[in-house]
Amino acid sequence: MRNKWVKRSIYIAILLAIFVGYPWYNIANPADATVARGLMPENVIKYGQDHLVLWGAAILVATAIGVAAGILISRPQFRFVAPVVVNIANIGQTVPSIGVLAIFMGLLGMGFSTAVFALIVYGILPILRNTYAGMITISPGIIEASRGMGMTPYSILRRIELPLALPVITAGIRTSSVMIVGAATLATFIAAGGLGAIIVTGLSVMRDQLFYTGAVMAASLAILLDYILWIIEEEAQA
């Protein structure tokens, strides 16, 4: 038990060390004045914060909508729409993330809220699909036993279906989380900030130290958040 938490803390510490240490080192040792300008500490912190906020807002809303919609289309009354919804979700998934951003920029203009909105739509799909899959793969015998014993539909959902579908649902949330961290690097194209700004600057001024910094921060953030979600999932099931 204690051993488990020691291991988890070490892992989180390593990921945090990469997320903080790598930009720190580059800020302290810029190759030239251009890199130094691109890596002003207050800007790096700002972009990191933007990225976290983009991710946080998008994953929270996407989870709420995705889980609710997934449950809804798994109900017997609505199951006939499920194939349509799941297929639309699958097709939606094939649109590249930059395309999703572009579509919403066309509709809503530039800015932070557009980016959040696009990321939410992008993130709903895996959560919705997994929630639906998790709900319909529960053995019918289990549902029938709970109905036969007199459980209310609400009790069955809360005590039986959701706990049994939880591992599949959280797998969807984690997939979505990693996708959102990645896609959020594109938010800079619609002036919504985020770690993508460092990468794009690095590319335009041709300084690899810059875009490596942005890329490593985004990647380590994705892994770190995924790991934290995994811990939450494990604890929820225990």
Partner 1 sequence: MVIKLENLTKIFQPGDAPAVDNLTLEVDEGDTCVLVGPSGCGKTTTMKMVNRLIEPTDGKIYVENEDVSKKNPIQLRLNIGYVIQEIGLFPHMSIAENIATVPRELRWPKQKIQERVDELLSMVGLDPELFRNRRPSDLSGGQRQRIGVARALSADPPLMLMDEPFGALDPITRSYLQNEFLRIQEKIKKTIIFVTHDIDEAIKMGTKIAIMREGKLVQYATPDELLSAPADEFVVNLIGGNYSIKRLHLIRVEEILKEPFTVSPEDSLDEAKEVMEKSQLELVLAVNGEKHLEGLVTPSSLRKEGERVGDVMDTPDLTVDSGATLNDALSVMLTNGEGYALVVGDENRLQGVVTLNAIMEALQDNEK
Q: Which residues of the shown chain bind partner 1 in the complex (CB under 8 A)?
A: 139, 141-142, 144-152, 155, 160, 163-164, 237
Between 145 and 203, name the residue whose CB sits nearer to partner 1: 145
- In whole angstroms, the minimum distance from the beta carbon of 161 to partner 1 comes to 10
Residue 92, classed as helix, strand or coil, is helix
The DSSP line for 207-232 is -HHHHHHHHHHHHHHHHHHHHHHHHH
Between 9 and 237, name the residue whose CB sits nearer to partner 1: 237
Q: Which two tokens stand for residue 127?
A: 């959560």
- In whole angstroms, the minimum distance from the beta carbon of 108 to partner 1 comes to 42
Between 91 and 145, name the residue whose CB sits nearer to partner 1: 145
- In whole angstroms, the minimum distance from the beta carbon of 164 to partner 1 comes to 6
The DSSP line for 130-184 is HHHHHHHTS-HHHHHHHHHTT--HHHIIIIIIHHHHHHHHHHHHHHHHHHHHHHH
- In whole angstroms, the minimum distance from the beta carbon of 234 to partner 1 comes to 14
- In whole angstroms, the minimum distance from the beta carbon of 175 to partner 1 comes to 22
Q: Which two tokens stand for residue 9?
A: 């803390």
- How many Å separate Cα 92 from the centre of its chain? 16
Between 76 and 141, name the residue whose CB sits nearer to partner 1: 141
Q: Give the list of residues 6+ apart from residue 52 with CB closer than 8 angstroms, or none.
A: 221
Between 40 and 145, name the residue whose CB sits nearer to partner 1: 145
